[in-house]
């Protein structure tokens, strides 16, 4: 690449929205199997350059049963937030969540960054990154209820409340895809892999 092109990319990536790469935000209700589908795709792209599965920071210990994440206390999280350690942070279900600021560099370098996000963060993501794809992973209501109940973490009333919250906000705008994960994970997983392939093709070329 010519030096002038490198300078142009550096200048472009220094302001918002960050261009060149694609941010894939994975959203969906609890019990839809987001972690399962992301793990399937992560294995598919293992060792492949240009794709980053973002490790989030959460104020919750990592139990090995759900997503693998970094953990901070609430005080440490707020301190990191004050020091601009996160590209994006939000509060939900009594926990703080953060996307590391290093994602800005990855997107500016033309990479595809994939992270579990919240529906409420979509507007902020679209403001921060030029190319954003939103992938909603869902499942039939009875499947969601069954999976949530099987976890044994919540009462029936809490499960119903989670399901109600999950359908409270409709997704709109460009780059939105919905994947039904009611069946075999390979079916939904292969659809997700195809979306990532499309993002790779669009990275550093144009709007997703």
Task: Give the residue ranges of the annotated binding site.
Answer: 28-35
Which residues are part of a known binding site for ATP?
28-35
Q: Is 124 exposed, middle or buried (0-12, 13-18, 19+ CB in 10 A)?
A: middle
Nearest to 41 by CA among 182, 180, 174, 197: 197
- Vertex 110 angle, CA 108 and 114, to 5°: 90
- Vertex 91 angle, CA 132 and 81, to 5°: 80
Nearest to 22 by CA among 181, 189, 177: 177
H/E run at residue 53:
strand 51-53
Q: Would you call 64 helix, strand, or coil by DSSP? A: coil
86-92/95-100 β-pairing: antiparallel
Nearest to 137 by CA among 117, 156, 111: 117
- Give the burial string for 88-105 (b: 16+ CB within 10 Å, else e): bbeeeeeebbbbbeebbe
Nearest to 77 by CA among 58, 103, 99: 58
């Amino acid at each position: 690449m010519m030096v002038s092109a490198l300078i142009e990319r550096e200048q472009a990536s220094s302001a918002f929205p960050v261009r060149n790469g694609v941010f894939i935000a994975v959203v969906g209700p609890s019990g839809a199997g987001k972690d399962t589908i992301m793990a399937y795709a992560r294995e598919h792209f293992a060792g492949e350059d240009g794709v980053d599965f973002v490790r989030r920071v959460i104020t919750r210990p990592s139990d090995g049963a759900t997503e693998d994440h970094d953990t901070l206390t609430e005080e440490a999280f707020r301190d990191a937030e004050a020091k601009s350690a996160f590209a994006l942070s939000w509060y939900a279900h009594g926990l703080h969540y953060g996307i590391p600021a290093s994602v800005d560099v990855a997107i500016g370098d033309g990479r595809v960054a994939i992270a579990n996000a919240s529906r409420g963060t979509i507007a902020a993501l679209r403001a921060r990154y030029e190319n954003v794809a939103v992938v909603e992973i869902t499942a039939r209501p009875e499947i969601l209820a069954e999976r949530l109940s099987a976890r044994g973490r919540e009462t029936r009333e809490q499960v119903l409340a989670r399901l109600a919250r999950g359908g409270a906000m409709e997704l709109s705008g460009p780059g939105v895809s919905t994947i039904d994960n009611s069946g075999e994970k390979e079916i939904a997983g292969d659809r997700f892999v195809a979306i990532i392939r499309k993002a790779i093709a669009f990275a550093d070329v144009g709007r997703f």
